[in-house]
Structure 1
Amino acid sequence: MARSNEEVEALLREYADLLLITGGDAYRARAYEKAARAIGGHAADISQFDAKALRDIPNVGRSIADKVVEYLRTGTMPAVEEARAAIPAGVRELTAIPALGPKKAMILYEELEISSIDQLAQAIEDHQLRDLKGFGPKSEENILHGIGLMRAAGNRIPLDEAMDVADDIVSALSKVPGCRRCAYAGSLRRMRETVGDVDILVAAEESGPFMEAFTRLPLTSEVIAHGQKKTSIRTTKGLQVDLRVLPLDSWGAGLLYFTGSKAHNIRIRAIAVRHGLKLSEYGLFETKSGKTIASRSEEDVYARLGMDWIPPTLREDRGEVKAALEGQLPRLVEESDLRGDLHTHTNLTDGLESLEDMIAKAERRGYAYYAITDHAPKLYMQQMTEEKMLAQRERVRALDRGRRRGDTRLLHGVELNIDVDGDVDWPPDFLEDFDLCVASVHTQFGMDRKAMTRRLVRACENPHVHVIGHPTTRLIGKRPGIDADLDEVFATCARTGTALEINAHPDRLDLSDENILRAKSHGVVFALDSDAHSTRDLDNMRYGVGMAQRGWLTPDDVINTWSLTRLRRFLRKDTGHQPPT
């Protein structure tokens, strides 16, 4: 995403929050949220847009466009500055807590003079919130859980934000004369869902030019340390990035070492010791003689230890070393295996772009098939009706009939809402004519464990539901997953032939890798989807693939790697899991 788009999106979202904190019009705040999302998801860099070009973006009206133009011209947005000045110190910090909205944060400040997270935690410990209107024991529990999520996240940032930074740095340093190799390592290479810092490695004979170029990058706001072997910076967004320059002959060992994880490296070093060897970031050596055994490539290092090369996404000491020693590592699913996307949206509901634009991007991605799954009516703010859905179906079917051999085939689907009792929006006779039904929980996240489990199980048992979308509903660092007996849900999915989604949006990555592993052990199959609301979102599949790999999934575990013929048989939910065709 272009930097200007990101900055404007963040400002407009902040302004919407500030409006709510100060008791402003909720509809006005919603308008700013929608505009923020539209600008953030817009394909073109808005840095050179005038007001007219901005108004051409959906949901961006004249007043918002004028504010954005002023920001692009001056670097400030006075409306946001004024709103910030009206908010007591500390209140906005409270609004970042999952389960605590702007209005409740203001109540806490006005009634109890709470203006920090530590003060709030202490007030809950002292049961001070229970006498406030709108609060109670359940509220205290939810807020404490939200505080725990924030503290656990610490300074970690979402995977996609770290990836954007790393891609830019690798691209820039690869162009410096003398660069032999350049790559990111660490938890980012392992595709962890959040990243604490970014590790960049360069292979070159001289480190000086790279250290100098690194400190002068436009995204550098602070040089933390500057040396010959390692330099650390802090970016304009507060992310620490460490650069290490290695000799080319040590590239493989260094990449392995700095990729981690720590537990994986300890396991590998123990094997080296048993062979009378020593493994470090510089190479694999004979302990007695110091002779180099392997160092130039990861494959060589693993091979000299009697192991297959282990994909970075598996390096968490969860059985991958034993599997590599025994030649039993799976062939992990890759982005190139995906033949389609089964969960996407258009501007008929809450998407940002037209049906035609979304299809065109799917075609550019080379998909064999592509499903449109706009929201059903019980997600009331989307204002869906049977008439709108049927009109879209007619349009999709007409476009599909016009496809030539080898073109992307179109599936007309829907994202249904799972009610508290497990029912979905439309009756069976209406659902029968959809090619695909994704069903998701969008409301009532706080139900008790037994009721939530029953809710999901009943949806899985619905013969018209093919995929359970973002199954735990989590938003990383913002909203915890629902409380349900997931093993019972997984077993039900395996029994009914219902796929579980791996939602590739970086804010969700739902299912997580741990839950993918658990579900796979029950015999579940998965749909790896973008949940795209814009053409840019379709490219988020790389993050979903990372989660799938961390969950040890093969192409055969993921239904949208299958041929369209096999997929259609699966969607009938009457023939079980067929062999590949």
Structure 2
Amino acid sequence: MGRVNDEVEALLREYADLLAITGGDAFKARAYEKAARAIGGHPADVSALEPDALREIPNVGRSIADKVAEYLRTGRIAVVEERRSKIPAGVRELITIPTLGPKKALRLYEDLRISSVDELAAAIEADALADLKGFGEKTQENIRHGIELLRRAGGRVPLSPALDTAEEIVAELSGVTGCRRCAYAGSLRRMRETVGDLDVLVAAERSAPFMDALCALPATAEVVARGTKKTSVRTGKGLQVDLRVVPPQSWGAAMQYFTGSKAHNIRIRTIAGHQGLKLSEYGLFDTGNGEPVASRTEEEVYARLGLPWIAPPLREDRGEIEAALRGELPEVVTGRDIRGDLHTHTDLTDGLASLEAMVDAAAERGYAYFAVTDHAPDLYMQRMTDEKILAQRERLRELDGTRGRTRLLHGTELNIGPDGEVDWPAEFLAGFDLCVASLHSHFDLGRTAMTRRLVRACENPYVNVIGHPTTRLIGRRPGVDADWDEVFAVCARTGTALEVNAQPDRLDLRDEDILRAREHGVRFAVNTDAHSVPHLGQMRYGVATAQRGWLTRDEVINTWPLTRLRAFLRKGGRRS
């Protein structure tokens, strides 16, 4: 399930890791990483491309194109399977630990015969790595933390692939004869950053056709349990899907019940109880005579309890019910409110698409404005120069006004150095329409130093947005340690927006951070940080995270008209 491009990308990345584990050519491994990234970000479906067209994808040469064609033809790549057979499964398991690279994983196996996460955790606790070169106290602490991150994630699936799977299942079941309604519920409908399993609901008079259809889906690898009201299957990627079929008249109650969260539902049932009512997945009933009083729509159920409809991302028992009772529930931002994207990249640095391709894609999305923010020179591997960025600006000015109503902004993503300094001097930064500034290194600075670093960046009169502020990667890297309340206060004081980065492996700021930051009066920018045309479609994840953080349209700067946005980007007039 999902895009074939994503499957190919995952396989090529695995091959790059396998090459690294077995001591293969580092240049070759890097070539496969680049090709994987290029295919994952390619806008066209690679399964529809001829071999010659595959080679036109950046970083995909003849050898890699042949392997992609082999996978599309047979569902396997022989050299990948051959390389897998040379490495114990446990060693491949080790490289899933954040902070533990392929070479260290192989050392652990060769020197200590460690071939599982549990064995490695036990070895660290027993101080068995003390004499192993390259595994000092700091390294062991990092690995220990990586194991904690891995275990904390457990069997949960990231939001993006879970949503892809759910939408495909809903599409399939919606086509079954007799389907009145079909939708996903649970934590996925609340758009949590990871999902334990999928809850899918169908409204129909007969359940059997839908149970049959779910069990027969190509993605279904195992039928866990089958019944008339509920069937559970497991996909080939290990995700459990629970399907429930309810009577059409119970649809609203069932959606409310199975969307959750558990804590939210307990509060709702308590309110019902105080009114002499009982709420279940089948409806809201009068406890005296058992008669149904509401069930067909969620709005009807909430209204009967004296509440407005509460958007699913808010249903976490974080004050939403109290706000609803007071009539103060926020009208959260939606995808329709987003007027533009303020953090994107092209192939001038580490993006995969040309400036023209990215601009065309933004115009097709109907954006009122679109910012290109390629990396600045302090990220040396991107090889940015003054001449390159100025040439890009000139070309962007030529394109401005030629793509419908989409206005183009020229920006840059600056690197925040250890002391809070950024790449270019003030007189050069003054030429940009906006500047995003982000942390890309030195993640282990102490709390005081990290706070000072971020504060100094916010106080720079040319920094408009702090990109992916905590730098976290979900399940792989924790956010940096800083006094965030101090940072939030400085953002509010200086007119510096905080980014809600929509990349599914970031979603940074987190919803919890957003809730804290908005109390300080901070403004936010929901951006994709797109490095390819398909990445522009990830805006939905950033919007969902913003909703979970209770953000309204007025708090998100890229929902504003361009004139208001430009005024904000001048940072109170301090920019020339």
The correspondence of residues 426-437 of structure 1 with structure 2, limited to 5 A, is 426-437=424-435
User: Equivalent residue for 2:15?
Assistant: 15
Change in CA separation of 1:403 and 1:119 when aligned onto 2, cut-off 3 Å: closer
User: Equivalent residue for 2:519?
Assistant: 521
User: Equivalent residue for 1:350?
Assistant: 350
Please tell me the residue identity of whatever aligns with 1:487: D
User: Equivalent residue for 1:116?
Assistant: 116
The correspondence of residues 142-541 of structure 1 with structure 2, limited to 5 A, is 142-402=142-402, 407-541=405-539
3-state SS of 1:128 partner: coil
**2: distance between equivalents of 1:136 and 1:122?**
16
> Residues 225 and 233 of structure 1 are in contact (CA less than 8 Å); yes or no, is this contact kept in structure 2?
yes
Please tell me the residue identity of whatever aligns with 1:428: A
**2: distance between equivalents of 1:294 and 1:44?**
46
Please tell me the residue identity of whatever aligns with 2:222: E
Please tell me the residue identity of whatever aligns with 2:145: H
**2: distance between equivalents of 1:86 and 1:427?**
52
Kindly provide the CA deviation profile for residues 477-521 of structure 1, in whole angstroms up to 9, marking residues without a partner as x. Answer: 111111222111111111111100000010110001001101111
Q: CA deviation at 1:90?
A: 1.3
Q: CA deviation at 1:2?
A: 5.2
Aligned pairs, number: 574
3-state SS of 1:57 partner: coil
Normalised TM-score (structure 1): 0.97
> Residues 2 and 164 of structure 2 are in contact (CA less than 8 Å); yes or no, is this contact kept in structure 1?
no
Q: CA deviation at 1:208?
A: 1.2
> Residues 513 and 551 of structure 1 are in contact (CA less than 8 Å); yes or no, is this contact kept in structure 2?
yes
Q: CA deviation at 1:130?
A: 3.3
User: Equivalent residue for 2:543?
Assistant: 545
**2: distance between equivalents of 1:160 and 1:424?**
33
Q: CA deviation at 1:131?
A: 3.1
Please tell me the residue identity of whatever aligns with 1:561: T
How many percent of aligned residue pairs carry the same amino acid? 71
Change in CA separation of 1:323 and 1:45 when aligned onto 2, cut-off 3 Å: same
3-state SS of 1:549 partner: helix
3-state SS of 2:567 partner: helix
**1: distance between equivalents of 2:573 and 2:252?**
47
Change in CA separation of 1:490 and 1:130 when aligned onto 2, cut-off 3 Å: farther
Please tell me the residue identity of whatever aligns with 2:216: R
**2: distance between equivalents of 1:165 and 1:123?**
38
Could you say what the CA RMSD is over the residues aligned between the two structures, in angstroms? 1.4
**2: distance between equivalents of 1:74 and 1:258?**
40
Q: CA deviation at 1:401?
A: 5.0
**2: distance between equivalents of 1:469 and 1:106?**
35
Please tell me the residue identity of whatever aligns with 1:35: A
**2: distance between equivalents of 1:31 and 1:198?**
36
Q: CA deviation at 1:456?
A: 1.2
> Residues 2 and 45 of structure 1 are in contact (CA less than 8 Å); yes or no, is this contact kept in structure 2?
no
Change in CA separation of 1:125 and 1:86 when aligned onto 2, cut-off 3 Å: same
**Gaps (5+ residues) in structure 2?**
none
3-state SS of 1:80 partner: helix
3-state SS of 2:400 partner: helix
**2: distance between equivalents of 1:545 and 1:462?**
27
> Residues 2 and 44 of structure 1 are in contact (CA less than 8 Å); yes or no, is this contact kept in structure 2?
no
3-state SS of 1:90 partner: helix
Change in CA separation of 1:364 and 1:48 when aligned onto 2, cut-off 3 Å: closer
Please tell me the residue identity of whatever aligns with 1:122: A
Please tell me the residue identity of whatever aligns with 1:504: A
Q: CA deviation at 1:433?
A: 0.3
3-state SS of 2:284 partner: strand
> Residues 49 and 69 of structure 1 are in contact (CA less than 8 Å); yes or no, is this contact kept in structure 2?
no
**1: distance between equivalents of 2:141 and 2:294?**
54
**1: distance between equivalents of 2:126 and 2:481?**
26
Please tell me the residue identity of whatever aligns with 2:542: G
> Residues 360 and 403 of structure 2 are in contact (CA less than 8 Å); yes or no, is this contact kept in structure 1?
no
Normalised TM-score (structure 2): 0.97
User: Equivalent residue for 1:129?
Assistant: 129
Q: CA deviation at 1:4?
A: 2.4
Change in CA separation of 1:2 and 1:183 when aligned onto 2, cut-off 3 Å: closer
Q: CA deviation at 1:179?
A: 1.0
**2: distance between equivalents of 1:34 and 1:416?**
23
**1: distance between equivalents of 2:226 and 2:486?**
53
Q: CA deviation at 1:114?
A: 1.5
> Residues 285 and 294 of structure 1 are in contact (CA less than 8 Å); yes or no, is this contact kept in structure 2?
yes
Please tell me the residue identity of whatever aligns with 1:515: D
3-state SS of 1:59 partner: coil
Q: CA deviation at 1:115?
A: 1.3
Please tell me the residue identity of whatever aligns with 1:513: D
